[in-house]
A and B are shown apart, each in its own frame.
Chain A
């Protein structure tokens, strides 16, 4: 079971700045383990973010995004109390959705 993502969404000056830390190994598929065997790739491929149920950002990640991916983006407008949801799907088909409110 995957660990929850950390989401901070702050409304200030007419826009909402969202900072996210997802919990994922983001294994590239190029790294070797102690015995010299290649560790198979395991990484988040798709990230979808919705505000009050409406998709506002859709992103694709390759295996070169760092471990525990960090993402900052800015929503035009928004307001305190708006519901933000983050969903990701990795290359093994595992998915996770976390929610937070705009502060």
Chain B
């Protein structure tokens, strides 16, 4: 009997150690990922090319493989629904950019091996503008599609 309880105590101790180690690893993983996510220089950029460059992409090249779903008209610029997807493999990041907003880059998604390059979100648009969807590839190429969205009531909040 004594032996069993000793064994259990030892087991609990091991489990505790594993749990704390896992927590530690998770913590490290989170912070390093989080730093990569908000790239201040890119989000402060005033042009599509600049933002793409700060996200690690080269000169942008138009590609029909990048699918951008955007409305022709947005009655209200405070919530414009956008979708971006591509079936290309080797996508590292997907960026959504609004050319005429005060800051061009709206959202940047890091495409891990566990997810598809397929995102949808809603953005604010201050005025009628071209919307860019850019895929930054593993080899640094930056492929894009763009579409003009006409905004009836701009969001001052862009």
Contact = CB atoms under 8 A, between A and B. Distances in A.
Main secondary structure of the interface of B (DSSP, over half): mixed
A94 interface: no
B144 interface: no
B75 to A, nearest CB: 14
Contacts of B108: 59-60
B118 interface: yes
B34 interface: yes
* A interface bracket (residues with beta carbon within 8 Å of B): 35 or more
Contacts of B158: 28, 30, 64
B109 A62 contact: no
B39 interface: yes
A76 B39 contact: no
Given A61-B107, A64-B124, A73 B37 contact: no
B145 interface: no
Contacts of B37: 45-48, 58-60
A49 to B, nearest CB: 9
* B interface bracket (residues with beta carbon within 8 Å of A): 35 or more
Contacts of B122: 65-66, 69-70
13 contacts: A28-B155, A28-B157, A55-B29, A56-B114, A58-B37, A58-B109, A60-B37, A66-B80, A72-B120, A72-B121, A73-B115, A73-B119, A74-B118
Given A62-B106, A62-B107, 17 more contacts: A27-B157, A28-B124, A28-B155, A30-B126, A46-B37, A51-B114, A58-B34, A58-B37, A58-B109, A60-B39, A60-B43, A64-B125, A65-B122, A67-B78, A70-B121, A72-B120, A75-B116
Interface of B: 22, 26, 29-30, 33-34, 36-39, 42-43, 78-81, 83, 98, 101-103, 105-110, 112, 114-116, 118-126, 155-158
